[in-house]
């Protein structure tokens, strides 16, 4: 096979939390990049250098646009002539099963433009076998070229952690694989120009399962400490000090922290891909995932119950109480509200009749649920609240001010410490 080397035109399909950082990094590495997305409003924002992703700022967008090598588009014709295509489209769950609709649509788009020597990489999180059993046949559907013989295909799972300033797309090791050895090398060669370290694995199924293992590991361990937090409260034991004590062991232990639940795209979704495949392929239940799902899914209910109990001690019902929520995003220092447990808590409290105000300078106002009024973190708001509930501990919030003016605080993140409030 004639290999185009070095590749110069890159198409990134999907310009969300995964695809946009890949696209901007590829521009920085010197590639001519097509940022393709079917969402016209999203493309319009990119053209105007208006970012909607934590890890790519407006200034970052202006920089890559000024190179004249970044081309946001929703026009399929702009995909023609690509050397490398990276597919980073959503793979949500529908009725408990992975929905590969966006992956299939992307493969069919690319099928009309694949050519000898090009490389196609799937980054979307999915279950083992997707690349070779679902993705490749669609790429070959035009009938002219064959994967492995005429063009390269591989899988490289995304490892984007929104808002993480220590581990970025460039510094996080990148797992790569291919449908054959030549494809694996082509995928590895491309990512070596973008990231500091590439990790090659035997095949696409290993790479697909590695991604699910990473997130299942976190999901299960967060569920463990969440259940400990619930039990610790009932036993009168401070679970936060227990975790800190256990973390002093220099081997065989990794600390995880409890919270109001899990959110984002990965943890509430990815382990369920694996659980679904185990049920479908083996007729068995992945018990660890099922238990973790049950624990983490019920944490917002536990938080609301603790809020009600805290108010009841002062003879206040939830209905009519003024509650100030600090943070609505699913994680610290991110505006990502996908599957946020804080949003779930807000909705449950609104259903109980609470008067809800919330502070989150990072979240998109369009993602604020009904019944929640966004406010600033001021001394008046803090003092007026019947209860302040810490749900997401953004560094940009004035925690000293919270400690000074909030009369009652329920802290699900241990941001204020034992002396400042009641903790999860």
CB neighbours of 113 closer than 8 A, spacing ≥ 6? 79, 80, 81, 82, 85
Over the stretch 315-366, which tens digit does the pLDDT of each residue have? Answer: 999 999 999 999 999 999 999 898 999 999 999 999 999 999 999 999 989 8
Closest by CA to 262, choosing from 217, 227, 296, is: 296
33-57 residue pLDDT tens: 999 999 999 999 999 999 999 889 9
Q: Are 352 and 346 in contact (CB under 8 A)?
A: no
The Cα–Cα gap between 417 and 424 comes to 11
Question: Could you tell me the CATH number of the domain that includes residue 240?
Answer: 1.10.1040.10
Question: How many percent of the chain have pLDDT more than 90?
Answer: 83
Q: Is residue 162 part of a domain?
A: yes
Task: Report angle CA 217, 220, 224 to the nearest 5 degrees.
Answer: 135
> pLDDT tens digit string along 123-138?
999 999 999 999 999 9
Tell me phi and psi for residue 325, to 5 degrees.
-95, 125
Residue 85 lies in a domain: yes
Reply yes or no on whether the pLDDT at 265 is more than 80: no
Could you tell me if 164 and 226 lie in one domain? no
pLDDT tens digit string along 95-115? Answer: 878 899 999 999 999 999 999
102 closest CA partner among 19, 194, 209:
19
Q: What is the pLDDT of residues 370-385, one digit of tens each?
A: 999 999 999 999 999 9
Beta bridge partners of 359: 326
418: Cα separation from own chain's centroid: 30
Query: What DSSP element (H or E) covers 199?
Result: strand 198-200
Task: Find all residues with CB under 8 Å of 129, minimum gap 6, and list them.
Answer: 205, 208, 277
Instruction: Output the CA–CA distances (angstroms, integers) from residue 227 to 11, 155, 409, in the order listed.
Output: 44, 35, 21
DSSP 131: I
110 touches 13 (CB < 8 A): yes
In a domain, 353, yes or no: yes
In this predicted structure, what is the pLDDT of residue 192? 97
Distance CA 107, CA 41 (A): 23
Give the Å distances, CA to CA, from 72 to 20, 33, 48, 64: 10, 8, 10, 11
CATH number for the domain including 361? 3.40.50.720
Q: How confident is the model at residue 232 (pLDDT cuts 50, 70, 90)?
A: very high
Q: Which residue has the higher pLDDT, 277 or 208?
A: 208
Distance between CA atoms of 136 and 179, rounded to whole angstroms?
A: 9
Assigned domain for 131 exists:
yes
Residues 88, 234 within the same domain? no
DSSP 2: P
Give me the pLDDT at residue 3, please.
43
Provide, rounded to the nearest whole percent, the portion of the chain with pLDDT above 70: 98
Average pLDDT on 227-252 reads 95
Residue 21 included in any domain: yes
Q: Residue 149 above 90 pLDDT?
A: yes
94-98, 178-182, 215-219: which is most confident: 178-182
Average pLDDT over residues 235-258: 96
* Parent domain of 400: 298-423
Are residues 102 and 171 both part of a single domain?
yes
Tell me the helices (H) and strands (E) count for the chain, helix number first.
15, 16
Contact between 7 and 84 under an 8 Å Cβ cutoff? The reply is yes
Q: Is residue 304 located within the same domain as residue 237?
A: no
Pairing state between β 409-411 and 387-390: parallel
Q: Does an H or E element contain 222, and which?
A: helix 204-235
Indicate whether 121 and 218 sit together in one domain. Answer: no
Instruction: Tell me how far CA of residue 354 lies from CA of 207, 282, 311, in angstroms.
Output: 46, 46, 11
Q: Average pLDDT over the chain, rounded to whole?
A: 93
Q: CA-CA distances (angstroms) from residue 292 to 97, 267, 299?
A: 17, 10, 11
What per-residue confidence (pLDDT) applies to 417? 81
- For the CA atoms of the chain, what is the radius of gyration? 23
Residue 390 belongs to a domain = yes
- Please say if the pLDDT value at position 310 is more than 70: yes
Query: Helix axis angle, 341-351 relative to 299-312, nearest 10°?
Result: 50
Residue 31 burial by Cβ neighbours in a 10 Å radius (0-12, 13-18, 19+): buried
Active site residues: 266
Does residue 225 contact residue 259 with C-beta atoms inside 8 Å?
no
Q: At which of 178, 202, 226 does a domain end?
A: 202
Q: Single out the residue in 271, 294, 317 at which a domain terminates.
A: 294
Q: What is the sign, positive or negative, of the torsion defined by CA atoms of 196, 201, 207, 210?
A: negative
Query: Residues 6 or more apart from 127 whose CB is under 8 A from it?
Result: 98, 208, 212, 273, 274, 276, 277
Q: Largest Cα–Cα distance of the chain, in whole Å?
A: 77
- Same domain for 316 and 302, yes or no, is yes
Task: Report the pLDDT value the prediction gives residue 93, as an integer from 0 to 100.
Answer: 84
pLDDT of residue 4: 45
Per-residue pLDDT at 2 exceeds 80: no
Task: Inform me whether the pLDDT recorded for 278 exceeds 60.
Answer: yes
Q: Are residues 155 and 114 in the same domain?
A: yes
* One domain for residues 284 and 332: no
DSSP letter (8 states) at residue 12:
E
Q: Concatenated DSSP letters for 131-164? A: IIIIIHHHHTTTSS--BTTTBEEEE------TT-
pLDDT at site 95: 81
Pair (151, 226) in one structural domain: no
DSSP, collapsed to helix, strand or coil, labels residue 360 as coil
pTM of the model: 0.90
CA distance 348 to 259: 16
Closest CA to 89 of 13, 38, 177, 33: 13
pLDDT of amino acid 420: 67
Mean pLDDT of 305-317: 96
**Structural domains counted in the chain:** 3
Q: Note whether residue 4 is domain-resident.
A: no
Average of per-residue pLDDT across 187-216: 96
Residues 283 and 315 in one domain: no
State yes or no: pLDDT of 282 exceeds 60: yes
The reply to whether 339 falls in a domain is: yes
pLDDT at 7: 65
Q: Is the pLDDT of residue 281 over 90?
A: no
| Residue that terminates a domain, selected from 202, 223, 247 | 202
Mean pLDDT over 394-402 rounds to: 95
Q: Please check whether residues 271 and 319 belong to one and the same domain.
A: no
Q: Which of 62-76, 257-271, 284-298 has the lowest mean pLDDT?
A: 257-271
Both 348 and 279 in one domain: the answer is no
């Amino acid at each position: 096979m004639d290999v185009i080397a070095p590749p110069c035109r890159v198409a990134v399909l999907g310009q969300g939390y995964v695809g946009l950082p890949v696209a901007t990094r590829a521009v920085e590495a010197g590639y001519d990049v097509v940022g393709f997305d079917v969402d016209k409003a999203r493309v319009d924002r990119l053209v105007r250098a208006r970012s909607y992703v934590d890890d790519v700022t407006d200034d970052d967008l202006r920089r890559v646009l000024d190179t004249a090598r970044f081309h946001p588009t929703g026009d399929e014709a702009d995909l023609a002539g690509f050397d490398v295509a990276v597919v980073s489209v959503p793979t949500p769950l529908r009725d408990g099963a992975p929905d590969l609709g966006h992956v299939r649509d992307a493969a069919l788009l690319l099928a009309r433009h694949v050519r000898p020597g090009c490389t196609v990489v799937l980054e979307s999180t999915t279950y083992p076998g997707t690349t070779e059993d679902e993705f490749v046949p669609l790429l070959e559907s035009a009938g002219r070229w064959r994967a492995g013989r005429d063009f390269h295909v591989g899988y490289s799972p995304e490892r984007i952690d929104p808002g993480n300033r220590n581990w970025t797309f460039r510094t996080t090791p990148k797992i790569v694989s291919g449908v054959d050895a030549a494809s694996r090398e082509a995928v590895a060669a491309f990512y070596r120009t973008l990231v500091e370290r590439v990790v090659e694995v035997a095949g696409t199924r290993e790479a697909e399962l590695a991604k699910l293992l990473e997130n299942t590991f976190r999901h299960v361990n967060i569920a463990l400490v969440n259940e400990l937090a619930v039990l610790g409260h009932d036993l009168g034991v401070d679970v936060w000090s227990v975790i800190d004590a256990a973390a002093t062991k220099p081997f065989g232990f990794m600390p995880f922290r409890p919270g109001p639940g899990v959110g984002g795209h990965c943890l509430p979704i990815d382990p369920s891909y694996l659980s679904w495949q185990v049920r479908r392929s083996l007729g068995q239940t992945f018990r660890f995932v099922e238990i973790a799902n049950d624990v983490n899914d019920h944490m917002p209910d536990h938080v609301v119950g603790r809020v009600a109990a805290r108010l009841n001690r002062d003879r206040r019902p939830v209905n009519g109480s003024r509650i100030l929520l600090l943070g609505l995003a699913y994680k610290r220092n991110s505006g990502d509200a996908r599957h946020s447990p804080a949003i779930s808590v807000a909705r449950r409290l609104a259903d109980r009749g609470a008067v809800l105000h919330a502070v989150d300078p990072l979240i998109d106002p369009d993602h604020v649920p009904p019944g929640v009024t966004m406010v600033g973190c001021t001394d008046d708001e803090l003092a007026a609240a019947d209860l302040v509930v810490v749900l997401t501990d953004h560094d940009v919030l004035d925690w000293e001010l919270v400690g000074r003016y909030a009369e009652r605080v329920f802290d699900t993140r241990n941001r204020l410490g034992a002396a400042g409030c009641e903790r999860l």
